[in-house]
Structure 1
């Protein structure tokens, strides 16, 4: 809790670096901090208001490091999941449109969509992608037009395949920029 408050201030990055330089990393669950990544983050995002978990995620090299840090500091589930998400998705994303990979992360999420939107915003801030962040903030999340009832009404037998079918249809729908109607998708 206290660390989170420290990381919300104007000098969060500098304070965190100083804390690590005096050896507190071992005590708080960051034995081998990635200081180079933290420096990159601080240079990229000095003018953006980033979440405290972004600073901590920058210090971590893998998902396992997030787990170790969480076991020591006991984050809320929202903060823990944000750290996992940032560490997993902070790398370069490829897509036919620059925003497409991030739209897919929101639309194909297994977590609450609202949380996924927050996490994607934080990843875009982390990457310093202000243009993409602006586009993402103005993007209205479309509603997928197909559900299990529609599949059943169109002769698909109920069962375990529903999830796979819906995921495949959703991928097609996303790749076609959400233009297909229910009728187009169930053909």
Structure 2
């Protein structure tokens, strides 16, 4: 899988901590699979102009975990101006260069986009945004990143460059901030939620946090109030569908963060923990878990105002809050889907079946959920045209008769065909 090139060694001191560079050579199939005409062409351009190019951040973490990353970001010693000259001279198209002031240029080679960012240091931060300066020092760029497991670089020859024991933390399933947790959080308060999200992805144990990390989060939690709802919702959604979600949501309440991120201050944590236990093995939607914290539709509205969730997500939350108690299996026929299929048949919403599936996950009805996933909505076989053909012409009478026939059809478990239903019409 890999071979060691250079063990840990002290190479100097920064304001954060002692520099300790660890390197090794990665030789996995996942890493090799990244190389195609596009990446090879990109590498040739940087090599020709003698600028270093390395894979950065989350892609390195994924590769070291044996996963092929979905997105690969690159870092370089070349400035944006250097990159523009290089790509122009090579005839390479550049697109979406809105990130240029932050050092990012996107090149398009062989129908693939490659996002490359100049090494940076933060000059000034306000908890939301940062003013940056470009550098050629890989160590300084690593210092400005949030977590040790996200601060590593990988050369295109497979050499890992790890300054803050990120590889060791990844092997030990530890999630730590680079240097001072308080300083990293104050640079961007969203890092609090990123910590929780990556904890759910990496940590084996539900409650294995470093006390000083939780203390720094508690002390700086109010900074989340200044972060946009859209950014918060992206992180919360990912956290809620990861591992340890119930523990992490409870921790958010214990650390008094809920009020800053759109969740009710007195959220029903015990209900949420129960629902998470019910649903976790069935790929619940994030809102299915979060709805358990909400007591009433008004809290859905407040959450939407803060987080600006999608129309579909808000609709699901309102549905679950309204129906989680009243729409349930029959006491007379506990194994029957009938209450749920009747609701779907009567509903005018196109996504009613998917909502009811989420409700069954919420309620822990595994057997009924499996049946409903196999069930297809039947088509009511009678139309107004059928009634006109047998002499019923009044619009009001047609509407009333169709409803009466629909009720008979439902009682038959949707088995009656058109002729059987029409036979119930009295001359």
With normalisation by structure 1, the TM-score equals 0.86
Decide which moves more: 93-102 or 30-39.
93-102
Q: Does 1:103 align with 2:336?
A: no
Cross-structure match for 2:257: 24
Q: For 1:132, which of 348, 351, 368 is the aligned residue? A: 368
| Cα separation, partners in 2 of 1:164 and 1:12, compared to 1, 3 Å | farther
**Unaligned stretches of 5+ residues in structure 1:** none
**Unaligned stretches of 5+ residues in structure 2:** 1-232
- List per-residue Cα deviations over 1:96-128 (Å, max 9, x = no partner): 46210111121111111xx11111111111111
Highest relative contact order (Cα 8 Å, sep 6+), 1 or 2?
1
Q: For 1:47, which of 281, 289, 308 is the aligned residue? A: 281
Q: Does 1:34 align with 2:268?
A: yes
State how 1:136-155 maps to structure 2 within 5 Å.
136-155=372-391
Q: For 2:353, which of 117, 129, 142 is the aligned residue? A: 117
With normalisation by structure 2, the TM-score equals 0.40
1:54 positional shift:
1.0
In structure 2, distance between residues paired with 1:160 and 1:21 = 59
**What secondary structure does 1:33 align onto?**
coil
RMSD: 2.2
| Cα separation, partners in 2 of 1:166 and 1:15, compared to 1, 3 Å | farther
1:143 positional shift:
1.0
Query: In the alignment, is the contact (CA less than 8 A) between 1:29 and 1:73 conserved in 2?
Result: no
Q: Does 1:74 align with 2:74?
A: no
- List per-residue Cα deviations over 1:39-66 (Å, max 9, x = no partner): 2112323433211001111001222322
| More helix, by proportion | 1
In structure 1, distance between residues paired with 2:399 and 2:306 = 37
Q: For 2:329, which of 86, 93, 99 is the aligned residue? A: 93
Larger radius of gyration between Structure 1 and Structure 2: 2
**What secondary structure does 1:47 align onto?**
helix
